[in-house]
A and B are shown apart, each in its own frame.
Chain A
Amino acid sequence: RKEVEQDPGPFNVPEGATVAFNCTYSNSASQSFFWYRQDCRKEPKLLMSVYSSGNEDGRFTAQLNRASQYISLLIRDSKLSDSATYLCVVNAVGQNFVFGPGTRLSVLP
């Protein structure tokens, strides 16, 4: 079993749709959680950190369930510019950052 797993995708949605991505992790010692965005042929960039209480940044909402070792990302009112691969990332103290395989999103006009 991979340490971080994500919805396989791709997700093809119309503009304005709401889309949710799911991620599970296996290392119970994980302490920090992130969503990164990677555009085609570009490097990954931090989208948002994920906090235990859940957090929101504009149209993006991230949730964490430590008991189920589950992380989610919700994108509301999706835009064409949201088309990218979304990478779930977990980190345990003193250890490296582990990336999931990513879920590709295409927002269609």
Chain B
Amino acid sequence: DTGVSQDPRHKITKRGQNVTFRCDPISEHNRLYWYRQTLGQGPEFLTYFQNEAQLEKSRLLSDRFSAERPKGSFSTLEIQRTEQGDSAMYLCASSSTETSGRRTGELFFGEGSRLTVL
């Protein structure tokens, strides 16, 4: 399978604990995005990378959130001192900056990591 994969698929944690999510993008994609989605809402942008460089980070993202993409391949998203409001689906997506006709810039999403903070 050469799609975007995320791990773990589900995480239940107690408030105050740290959690880390991993995303493996499509191998030839140089851009990787993290989004958060809650029920009934669209995906909310968190951050994105081009290769290993973090190009943009949402102003809404607290300093408890950090993301890395050390070798320009997989990425991790860490949430420190989790709060109940962090409960959401965390979606990773990848894309290529190479043009490919009408599907230029298409985002390919993983199935997400669902976080529940008790």
Contacts and interface: CB of A to CB of B under 8 A. Distances in A.
Given A43-B91, A44-B109, A99 B44 contact: yes
A93 B85 CA distance: 31
Interface of A is mostly: strand
Contacts of B55: 94
Contact of B105 (A42, A44, A91): A91
B56 interface: yes
B42 A102 contact: yes
Given A42-B111, A43-B91, A43-B112, A96 B105 contact: no
Nearest to A9: B40
Interface of B is mostly: loop
Contact of A43 (B44, B56, B109): B109
B105 A98 contact: no
16 contacts: A34-B106, A36-B107, A42-B111, A43-B109, A43-B110, A43-B111, A43-B112, A45-B109, A46-B107, A49-B102, A49-B104, A49-B106, A95-B56, A96-B45, A96-B56, A101-B42
Interface of B: 33, 35, 40-45, 48, 55-56, 91, 102-107, 109-112
Interface of A: 4, 32, 34, 36, 42-46, 49, 87, 89, 91, 94-102
